[in-house]
Amino acid sequence: MDATSCRIYCIKQHRPSLRARAKKAGHQSCRQNFRFQWRSGRKQENDVQDFRVLELFSGIGGMHYAVKRILPTCYVEAVDINTVANKVYEHNFGERPHTLDLNQITWDTLDSYGADMWCLSPPCQPYTRTVFGKRLDASDNRSRSLIHLLEQLPLMQRPPKYLIMENVEGFVGGKVHGLLKEALLACSYQLQV
């Protein structure tokens, strides 16, 4: 996949005071809003160490690497069902991801991670526009785990403040994309594409 075919979604839970301060300061991008929160005085330097990231569909750790570049002292936990990818992830970062089927994970298990941010890289095959892509969207079994996570999100007692998701360009406009937007807006998240 080349860089032009990838889309990043940054989603954060709506916090009127933070949003108003960010808008007043002229911050528009997700990264700027995210960094603005740390500069605003709400968090002390040592609190960044307490910032917890849950990397779902972790693969070999691309999101882990990106998050650590922005927040080098945050704590990252990873989940993926692919045991081969988990071995590579462990080689790259020294910690083995939890091998869990995200089709079966419950809201209370998600709550138990205490994540401030979720990073998601769900399978792209249901949406890809390549020659081999069937573009089955929600009908593809590989999209079921993301749909299941979206069903669990509103049930959580402590949902993450931020969600970052990446997928291929073909994801936008499909049924699962609509379900994602619908679920996030229902949980008071603000979507930035």
C-beta separation of 187 from 155 below 8 A: no
- Half-sphere exposure of residue 97: CA atoms within 13 angstroms, side-chain side: 29
Radius of gyration of the chain (CA): 17
Paired strand residues for 51:
none
119 is catalytic: no
Specify the 3-state DSSP secondary structure of 79: strand
Six-digit token string for 178: 């609509």
- Whole-angstrom distance, CA of residue 47 vs CA of residue 149: 27
From 10, 30, 119, 124, the catalytic residue: 124
Catalytic residues: 124
